[in-house]
Amino acid sequence: MTIGDDLYDQAEEAAATIRTVCPEAPRIGVVLGSGLNELADRLVDAARIPYDRIPHFPRPTVAGHHGTAIVGRIGGRRVLMLQGRFHYYEGHDLDAVTLPVRVMQRLGVSTLILTAATGGIRSDLTAGDLVILSDHLNLLGVNPLRGANDDRLGTRFPDMTAVYSPRLRAIAAEEAAALSIHLAEGVYACMPGPSYETPAEIRMLRTLGADVVGMSTVPEAISARHGGMEVLGIALVSNAAAGVAGTPITHDEVLAAGRDAAPRLASLVERIIARLAVESPSAG
């Protein structure tokens, strides 16, 4: 699949299926990373659609990614939540990886909240910390916008000066303070995976200015900005990156950290969405 008519049409077909259970357009979308599923339980009047019922959606193959789209309300605001994402390292091309973002775009989502489990590069970040993304490094070696541009999806050369909305970051910081949640800010480095990084790669990323590292999020953020969405990225530090703590990294560790931090992250995102509902009540 290449960016163009195929992607637009596939996104519209998938969106049409979601509209059958959600005729009212959601304005906020949330993508849940590894083990970060508790927020979905806080949706009111929720309707669930397994990915295998949504046209062109692959099934996630990674533990901690349930593969369900859920539509419900938080703070009176209609929200579309995705339990599970598709990764480049699973063998998908970036059109498939970012298809859910395009589906949200076709549904009318204007604000996208991305969550992800990450490795902490900066020495002051420890497992369980939450980090608001201020910027990113796309080190996948490919861009999701490569290829023919479809003007219905966005402009040919989208600006990436502020991928992660300063307005949403400020709201997140204020709501974290109200909850007494420590919230750091940092730069996310996206690596292709699926192997965790080597200590030498982590030293390189630190030199480049990265604070956390992961294998997702960045293609979604780029596509969302291409589509005119306002983006907020929240990273959970699930482990110290390779060479920082001197111990091996396992996916079980990532999932366990997600389970431990999920209540705090869920409370924070819930507050952010409720705040947006108050500040923009007419946005659905």
pLDDT beyond 90 at 101:
yes
Could you confirm whether 12 is annotated as catalytic? Answer: no
Could you confirm whether 215 is annotated as catalytic? Answer: yes
Could you confirm whether 216 is annotated as catalytic? Answer: yes
DSSP states along the chain: --TTHHHHHHHHHHHHHHHTT--SPPSEEEEE-TT--GGGGG-EEEEEEEGGGSTTPPPP-STT---EEEEEEETTEEEEEEE----GGGT--HHHHHHHHHHHHHHT--EEEEEEEEEE-STT--TT-EEEEEEEEE-SSS-TT-SS--TTT--SS---TTSB-HHHHHHHHHHHHHTT--EEEEEEEE---SSPPPHHHHHHHHHHT-SEEESSSHHHHHHHHHTT-EEEEEEEEEEEPTTTSSS---HHHHHHHHHHHHHHHHHHHHHHHHHHHHHSGGG-
Which residue ranges form the domains of the chain, and what is each CATH number?
Answer: 5-283 (3.40.50.1580)
pLDDT beyond 50 at 273:
yes
| Nearest CA among 188, 232, 190, 234 for reference residue 211 | 188
Catalytic pick among 40, 69, 90, 242: 90
Quote the percentage of the chain above a pLDDT of 90.
69
Query: How many whole angstroms from its chain centre is CA 249?
Result: 22
Catalytic pick among 87, 136, 176, 242: 87
Catalytic pick among 215, 221, 241, 242: 215
Could you confirm whether 65 is annotated as catalytic? Answer: yes
| Nearest CA among 82, 89, 78 for reference residue 114 | 82
What is the overall mean pLDDT for the chain? 89
pLDDT at 62: 58
pLDDT at 61: 64
| Nearest CA among 127, 278, 133 for reference residue 211 | 133
pLDDT beyond 70 at 205:
yes
Could you confirm whether 221 is annotated as catalytic? Answer: no
Q: What is the pTM of this model?
A: 0.92
Among 31-35, 134-138, 241-245, the minimum mean pLDDT is found in: 241-245
- Residue located via tokens 């999806």: 153
Please tell me whether the peptide bond between 60 and the residue prior to it is cis, using omega within 30 degrees of 0. Answer: no
pLDDT in tens, 209-264: 999 999 999 999 999 999 999 999 999 998 877 656 566 667 676 667 667 778 88
Could you confirm whether 188 is annotated as catalytic? Answer: no
